[in-house]
Amino acid sequence: MPTRVLKLGERLVDLDDRTLIRDGVETRLSAREAALLRYLVARPGVVIPRATLLVEVWGYAPHVRSRAVDATVARLRQKIEDDRENPAHLLTVHGAGYRFLIEPSANGARPCLPPARRRVVGRSPDVQALVEALDTSRLVTVVGPPGVGKSVVCEALVRSLSERQLEGGVWICRCAEVSSEAELLAAVAGGLQLELGPGFTLSSARDSLGRTLVERGDVVLILDDFDRSIPFVASLARWLDLAPRARVVVTSRERLRLRGERVYALRPLDETVGRGLFCALADDLGISVEVPEHHVVDDIVRALDGLPLAIELAAARLSVLDPPELLRRLEHRFAVLRSHRLEDCDRHASLQRCFDWSWDVLSASERRALMQCTALHTPFTLAEAEAVLDLEEPVVDVLQSLLDRSLLTQTGRPRSFWMLETTRAYVAQYVRDDEPQEGRCRSARSEQL
């Protein structure tokens, strides 16, 4: 059998040989210490109760009480930790058990804390509202159009929740690339820092993730970019039933329609915050936007509906276009709003692609409704839409579905529908290719007027 050597910081641990080497000095591990370490190393990030360790590592009968685990953990810490009072690898989870981290995080306590990505402008009120929503709801879905900042807000939420030192931790799972249930389970396992192991079955993986959530107790799971995972949402419903103390935050363009779900609609940035983001991004390029130009920037932000992704892509053009020229060219926004940065992931490389993603999943009626809606001035009411839209399905159903998919929004007046300028411009491209549709709506509208 190959020797199992583990690197813990400056130390090399040979689990088979039960030796530990640091700076050329060798220390021995007792058989029990090595057995405990081997057990923990196989389950990184998982909170393991003392009682489980007594059964699985010590071989005691269930319900036997003993201080053996704490004593062995204390000795092991002396050998593997730089500071045993403030361990980086073998953590105590108060009231729950122990958790082992192979790679300690920067603060030694939260393995899931995402690296501070880009700056976050505004959004403190949203983060605060989400923290409060989680006090009363176990499932919160952050919905909004592509590029509105759902993922950014969730990262800020992780940082905010991490300060609360939850017993089970906060774990973020990236689900953007998921296209099958197996991939979703692997993404969740990855976020929870679990190995599913080769040859896992869907049901064994589902059960094992459920058990992990139960074991972690007061845990928050963040499922980011869940849009493509919605067909597999039953797994999530099951975990919520299984693990009564687990709470979940999901980001998606669409709500999940699960029992007990609380929907948080993330709005675009307001004009002042949007201007702040634009100017900060200009600053990154070494371009300062002078105060007299602020009104043009405000017009740009307004034309882009305060959508942070659009603002980001627009500001990137400042090295070749001055703000007035940029504003003029926004008429053809999809040509302007493309990224030239290599590191941008495909999905956000252009505004066009972001919206393609949403468009591709629409039904024929939903597409037709959107095309016809471009002829309406927003906000419009249901009655106005019903008078104008010519669809095979009830208008109320189609509008509800477009609202759920974040392609229409509701701002200000309740029960009135709003279409972002960017959505309108996107859909208008299809209207041009589909003149009869537009004509049908227009004629209906003129009859109405």
Ligand X SMILES: Nc1ncnc2c1ncn2[C@@H]1O[C@H](COP(=O)(O)OP(=O)(O)O)[C@@H](O)[C@H]1O
Q: Residue from 151, 374, 401, 409 that binds ligand X (CB under 6 A)? A: 151
Residues at the interface with Mg ion (CB under 5 A):
150-151, 225
Please tell me whether residue 308 binds ligand X under the rule CB under 6 A.
Answer: yes
277 binds, among Mg ion, ligand X, none (CB under 5 to 8 A by kind): ligand X
Q: Does 7 engage in binding with ligand X (CB under 6 A)?
A: no
Q: How far is the CB of 314 from ligand X (least distance, A)?
A: 11
Handedness of CA 120, 125, 128, 132 (dihedral sign): negative
Residues numbered 84 to 113 that lie near ligand X (CB under 6 A) are none
Q: Which is nearer to Mg ion, 222 or 391 (CB)?
A: 222
Lay out the sheet containing 19-22: strands in order across. 5-8, 11-14, 19-22, 25-28
1-9, 53-61, 107-115, 121-129 -> range binding ligand X (CB under 6 A): 121-129
CB of 155 to ligand X, least distance (A): 8
In order, the DSSP letters of 276-294 are HHHHHHHHHTT----GGGH
Number of alpha helices (DSSP H) and beta strands (DSSP E) in the chain:
19, 14
Scanning residues 230 to 289, which ones bind ligand X (CB under 6 A)? 251, 277
Decide: is 147 part of the binding site for ligand X (CB under 6 A): yes
Cβ neighbours of residue 127 under 8 Å, at least 6 residues apart? 153, 156, 157, 160
Part in contact with ligand X (CB under 6 A); list of ranges 193-201, 304-312, 375-383, 389-397: 304-312
In the complex, the smallest distance separating the C-beta of residue 374 from ligand X, rounded to whole angstroms, is 22
CB of 151: closest distance to Mg ion in angstroms? 3
Structural tokens at position 178: 């998921």
Q: How far apart are CA 241 and CA 219, in angstroms?
A: 14
> For the residues of 248-276, what is the DSSP string, one character each?
EEEEESS----TTEEEEEPPPPPHHHHHH
Cβ 355 to ligand X, closest distance in Å? Answer: 11
Q: Which does 121 bind (CB under 5 to 8 A by kind): ligand X, Mg ion, none?
A: ligand X
Q: Is there binding between residue 340 and ligand X (CB under 6 A)?
A: no
Residue closer to ligand X, measured from CB, 50 or 267:
267
- The site partner of 193 among Mg ion, ligand X, none (C-beta below 5 to 8 Å per kind) is none
DSSP string, 284-321: HTT----GGGHHHHHHHHHHTTT-HHHHHHHHGGGGTS
The residue to which tokens 């609380």 are assigned: 262
Q: Which of 53, 88, 148, 233 forms a contact with ligand X (CB under 6 A)?
A: 148
Cβ proximity to ligand X: between 34 and 315 the closer is 315
Q: Is 26 helix (H, G, I), strand (E, B) or coil?
A: strand
Amino acid at 445: R
Q: What contacts 110, CB < 8 A, 6 or more positions away? A: 162, 169, 170
Nearest residue to ligand X on Cβ basis: 149
Question: Closest residue (Cβ) to Mg ion?
Answer: 151
Strand partners, 262: 140
Picked from Mg ion, ligand X, none, the partner binding residue 172 (CB below 5 to 8 A depending on kind) is none
- Does position 119 interact with ligand X (CB under 6 A)? The reply is yes
Of 25-33, 143-151, 160-168, 184-192, the segment contacting ligand X by CB under 6 A is 143-151
Nearer to ligand X, 146 or 191 (CB): 146
Q: Which of 183, 165, 164, 163 is nearest to 174 (CA)?
A: 183
Residues in the chain: 449
> How far is the CA of 118 from the CAs of 115, 277, 284, in angstroms?
9, 11, 12
| Cis before 379 (ω within 30) | yes
**What minimum distance in Å lies between the beta carbon of 395 and ligand X?**
28
Contact between 227 and ligand X (CB under 6 A)? no
Number of residues that bind ligand X (CB under 6 A): 20
The residue (of 193 and 406) whose beta carbon lies closer to Mg ion is 406
- Binding residues (CB under 6 A) for ligand X: these are 118-123, 144, 146-152, 251, 277, 308-309, 312, 348
